[in-house]
Structure 1
Amino acid sequence: MSTLEAKIVHTTIDRDWRDVYAFMAKPENMPRWASGLSSGLTREGDHWLAPGPLGNARVRFAPDNAFGVTDHLVTLEDGTEVHNALRVVPNGDGAEVMFTLLRQPGMSAEQFAGDAGWVAKDLATLKSIMESGEDR
């Protein structure tokens, strides 16, 4: 298997990285900032269900950890798995949030760029929530 094209989409947040991680690590908070999950998540055992245009996706989240890892594995109804690497790291007194976007097989350059724009918009929403204190 060959590697996929990757793009790191990131934002700097003026808030302690531990606060950002604590908010991001709760799956029930994701619909507040991740627009692809705007219809919400429903817990089902050790994973979550996310309704979407391609049907219900199963989402498994990284367990709580001290490293700022908020990865999640999305399994589409057709069995396709998409690993979403999402990290929060200290950046001075604030945080750097990084999402590694992988260009999926068959995805055009335009679709990949569109996905990167979507991720950037979601991270901007997260930044706004965290810096305004709306997470409390």
Structure 2
Amino acid sequence: MSTMNAKIVHISIDRDWREVYSYASRPENMPFWASGLASGLTQDGNDWIAEGTLGTARVRFSPRNDFGVIDHWVTLESDLQVYNALRIVPNGDGCEVMFTLLQLPGMETEQFAADAAHVMRDLKTLKELMER
């Protein structure tokens, strides 16, 4: 497989990175800011189950860590597995939240751009929640 086209979608948040990580890394909080998981997540062992427009998805998160990593693997009913790299890193008194979006094989350029816009909306929602 060749390297996929990638786009890093990021936003600055005026709040300590540890507080943002603590909130954003809890699966039970994700429906409040990650619209793709708006239906909520139900824990199933080490995985979390989400119902969405593409059907049932199984989500596995990286273990909690001291590095701001919230990577997660999403497995759809079709067995397609998508790796999502999500990082929160210090930036002065605030932080940067960065999501690496990959253009999957067969994904049209317009859909990739729409996905990037969707991720940005979610990051803006997280920013609004964290800066209240």
1:96 match:
96
Residue in structure 1 matched with residue 29 of structure 2 by the alignment: 29
Query: How far 1:69 sits from its partner (Å)?
Result: 0.1
Structure 1 unmatched runs, 5+ = none
Return the TM-score normalized by structure 1. 0.96
Aligned to 1:14: 14
Q: What is the alpha-carbon distance in structure 1 between the residues aligned to residue 104 and residue 40 of structure 2?
A: 24
Alpha-carbon distance in 2 for matches of 1:54, 1:68: 28
Gaps in structure 2 of 5+ consecutive residues: none
Report how far residue 55 of structure 1 moved: 1.3
Q: CA deviation at 1:52?
A: 1.1
Shift of 1:35: 0.6
1:49 corresponds to which residue? 49
**RMSD of aligned residue pairs (Cα, Å):** 0.5
Q: Secondary structure at the match of 2:130?
A: helix
Q: How many residues align?
A: 132
Match in the other structure for 2:115:
115
3-state SS, counterpart of residue 65 of structure 2: coil
Residue 63 of structure 1: SS of its match in structure 2?
coil
Amino acid at match of 1:72: H
> Residues 63-78 of structure 1 correspond to what in structure 2 (within 5 A)?
63-78=63-78
Return the alpha-carbon distance in structure 2 between the equivalents of residues 59 and 38 of structure 1: 14
CA distance in 2, matches of 1:95, 1:118: 20
Amino acid at match of 1:100: T
